Structures are given as structure tokens and as C-alpha cells.
Amino acid sequence: MAKTALYDIADKNLQGALASFLQSLLADDNISAVMVPMRQSGNDTVMQTLVTDPEQLSAADPFSPAFPMNAARLVSRLTKRSPGETVATVLRPCEIRAHIELVKLKQGQVDDIIIIGIDCPGTLQNNDFRKLAGKDPESTTDRFLTAALDGKTQFDEAVELPPACKICTHPVPEGADIGIGIFGMDIKKQFLLSAGTEKGEGLLDRLGLNVQEPPDGREEAVGSIVSAREASQGEVFAAVHEKTDTPEKLAEYLSGCINCYNCRVACPVCYCRECVFVTDVFDHDPFQYLRWAKRRGKIRMPTDTVFYHLTRMAHMTTACVGCGQCSNACPNDIPLAELFSMTASHTQNAFDYEAGRSLEEDPPLAVFREDEFAEVVEIKH
């Protein structure tokens, strides 16, 4: 059983308690900085911010539903080589799992960071976040948490959780050194701190917090969230499959794509330093387009759209953590997260692999064994 502690919330002020918890991390001799989502001055955006001055942490807002990017990319920037000092990073479960994938792809490491994971009730796409923030941005997080912890997925007339979050079966930060728990807790009184690693246990000890068991309802609350999400995942995957089970239907599903590649830029696990689709390979000669058009009587411009998405599936779905940033980044609202999550469930199953589960499991396409997958070979002798 992991070591857990309860952190008291004064004056029903969750934000204040989180800020003081983060300040206590910064006061630890081993931690030089904290990276946490923070309200940016002068407007209502919330963005990951690297903080060394404890005073600044009063604007920290880790439970804000804003999710402008998957922070695994930022952690990768901080850890591609050792920064020489330790940074505590406050991350959502999908950000932690994406970072684990990047570590396995040698684009980051975990030695110089302490991962503070949060229980994630979900996020909002950028437009929806701005709508919910509206005229009262100060209270956005409180309004969101109150409704989300009540099991709601709809927050305003036109604001609801994106499909990626509705079907996410990893609401609890597995792999974090310390998890901040809010499911099954009375967040006017206490939040839960649970150490998931030795590093986390050491930190909990140094912080001098009283080790206490989580309250009774905690496990049940997490269980019911996961089973609700599993149910909607099944429905969503079935619906997407129905819409994409022939090449023509897949093309129709992707017909709004303008080859902007925003989904690839936003994807935390699209790991290639240079994507082949922006190289000269796809800088076709003008006559080539005419030749294609003549062969079939017409050709969709821009070309290579289905080709791009299928290739991206082959590249990254074994590492897909289902964070939904592809959908968030799409200018034409193509439901990419559902499509890629569905494909990821098949490719990860094929290799008995789960993205972000463990640093010990090798990425499926990076290894091979002599005696395996005989079923894909037609003639064996």
C-alpha cells in the first residue's frame, strides 16, 4: 500500500492550499523550481509556468480545466539533458504517460524531476475553456470542479467535456512520484497526497506530513469514474468504427483536413524531429497532380491526406495516450482523438502494450524477438 497523507484545506480555499503545498515543495532543499499551470497576468489564460519565487505560486491553478497543450513536450525540453537541478512538475495523468513514452524514446528522463500528478476530472478544449471562463474567469476552476466532481460532463449550455476526456480510463495519476487526489474527497476540507514511488515517499517524509489512510469513499469514487468512462469508450469506439470501416468512409471522415499538420505538432508522442510529410518527398512536381487526376478523373486537393493520417497511425498509435490534443488543435473540428484512440487500442492490444504504463516495457516497434507473431506469416517453411 502506497504511503498517503491528507493535506488540510484552510477556509475552504483549495487554490490557497495547493499554493501553500507547492510553496512547501519549493522550500525543500532538493527542489529548485516548480512547473505548474498558472493563471497568466492580464488575461484569463492558464499556461504551464516554471517558478522559482514562492510568492508567484499564489497564481498556480493546477486543476483549471484549461489544457492548451500536453505538457509532456515541456518536460521533455527540461530533461532532454540533465538540467543539473531538480524540478517538481505538476502534470495530468495523460501528460505523465506521454512523458514516460518520450523517456523510452530517449527524448527526456525522469531522474531530475519529481512528478506531482493530479486526479483529472477532465479538461476543456480551448474555445470551450474561454466560453466557460466568460466574464468571471476568477471562479472558472471552482465552477468546473464543483460540477465535474458531481459527475457532470456539461458545464454551460454549449460547454462540455471533449470526447477524449469522456472516454479516458486513466483519471488517476499512475506513475507520479506524488499524486494529488480529489476524487472521493471533500475538497473543502482536505486533499489526498499519495506517494507512488520511493522518491515520492522520501519527499512526503521530508515535508513532515502525517501519514494517514485515504478516506473510505476514495476507492469507490475512482472505480465508478473509471467504469463510466469505460462504458462511454465502448460506445464511442463503436460509433467511430461504424463511420470509418471502408476506405471511402475514412476519407469522408477526414474530408475537412487541410494538411496543416497541427495534430502532429500538438501530439506529445509524435516524436520524429522532422516529419516526412513536410520534406521534399511530398513536394510533388506539378505534372504529378495532373497525372493522378487523369488516372481517376479527379483528385482531392490537398493530396496525401488519408495517407498522412494512416502513416501517423503507424508511427504513433502504439504510444498514443489519448490526451485529445489532436482534436484540440484541429482548425476544422475533425474528431481525431476518437479515431486515434480507437486505433491505439488495437495496436497496443496487438503488442500487449499500454502507452505510459511502465518505463520497463520497450516500445513495440523498437524491439523484436526471434520467436513471435507466427500468425502474421503466411508460409513458414
Partner 1 sequence: MDDFEPTIIAFVCNWCTYTAADLAGTSRLTYPTNVRLIRVMCTGMVDPKYIIKAFLEGADAVLVSGCHPGDCHYINGNYKARRRMKLLKAILPRYGFSEQRLKLTWIGASDGIQFARTIREMVEEIKELGPNEARNAAVV
Q: CA-to-CA distance for 218 and 6, rounded, in angstroms?
A: 12
Q: Which is nearer to partner 1, 8 or 245 (CB)?
A: 245
C-alpha angle 355-368-72 in degrees, rounded to nearest 5? 25
CB of 170 to partner 1, least distance (A): 21
Which part of the chain contacts partner 1 (CB under 8 A), choosing from 89-97, 121-129, 166-174, 292-300?
292-300
Q: CA-to-CA distance for 373 and 232, rounded, in angstroms?
A: 31
CB of 249 to partner 1, least distance (A): 7
CB of 308 to partner 1, least distance (A): 9
Q: Any bridge partners for residue 156, and if so which?
A: 159
Q: Using an 8 Å Cβ cutoff, are 70 and 95 in contact?
A: yes
Q: Does 262 bind partner 1 (CB under 8 A)?
A: no
Q: CA-to-CA distance for 214 and 176, rounded, in angstroms?
A: 17
Q: Any bridge partners for residue 60, and if so which?
A: 38
Q: Does 272 bind partner 1 (CB under 8 A)?
A: no
Q: Does 273 bind partner 1 (CB under 8 A)?
A: no
Q: CA-to-CA distance for 337 and 312, rounded, in angstroms?
A: 13
Select the residue interacting with partner 1 from 47, 228, 311, 354 (CB under 8 A).
311
Q: Does 292 bind partner 1 (CB under 8 A)?
A: yes
Q: What is 289-345 written as a DSSP string?
A: HHHHHHHHS---SS-SHHHHHHHHHHHHGGG-----HHHHH-TT---HHHHHHHHHH
CB of 253 to partner 1, least distance (A): 9
Q: Which is nearer to partner 1, 50 or 293 (CB)?
A: 293
CB of 91 to partner 1, least distance (A): 28
- Residue showing cell 522559482: 52
Q: Does 138 bind partner 1 (CB under 8 A)?
A: no
Q: Which is nearer to partner 1, 84 or 297 (CB)?
A: 297
Q: Does 49 bind partner 1 (CB under 8 A)?
A: no
**Residue 129: strand, helix, or coil:** helix
Q: CA-to-CA distance for 316 and 269, rounded, in angstroms?
A: 7
Q: Does 307 bind partner 1 (CB under 8 A)?
A: yes
Select the residue interacting with partner 1 from 258, 290, 314, 359 (CB under 8 A).
314
Which part of the chain contacts partner 1 (CB under 8 A), choosing from 23-31, 38-46, 300-308, 321-329?
300-308
Select the residue interacting with partner 1 from 145, 251, 265, 275 (CB under 8 A).
251
Record the cell numbers describing residue 237, joined without a space: 469506439
Q: Any bridge partners for residue 5, and if so which?
A: 193, 211
Q: Any bridge partners for residue 86, and if so which?
A: 31
- Residue showing cell 480545466: 65
Q: Does 157 bind partner 1 (CB under 8 A)?
A: no
Select the residue interacting with partner 1 from 29, 216, 242, 378 (CB under 8 A).
378
CB of 375 to partner 1, least distance (A): 8
Residues 6+ apart with CB under 8 A from 118: 62, 63, 90, 91, 92, 93, 173, 179, 180, 182
Mask of contacts with partner 1, 347-366, x by CB under 8 A? x-xxx------------xx-
The distance in angstroms from the start CA to the end CA of the chain is 51
Mask of contacts with partner 1, 210-249, x by CB under 8 A? -------------------------------x--xxxxxx
The two beta strands, 86-91 and 113-118, are parallel
Count of residues in contact with partner 1, rule CB under 8 A = 47
Nearest to 148 by CA among 173, 166, 128: 166
**Site residues (CB under 8 A) for partner 1, limited to 318-337:** 318
CB of 191 to partner 1, least distance (A): 40
Nearest to 233 by CA among 245, 222, 225, 244: 225
Residue ranges binding partner 1 (CB under 8 A): 241, 244-251, 276, 292, 296-300, 303-307, 310-311, 313-315, 317-318, 342-343, 346-347, 349-351, 364-365, 368-370, 372-373, 376-380
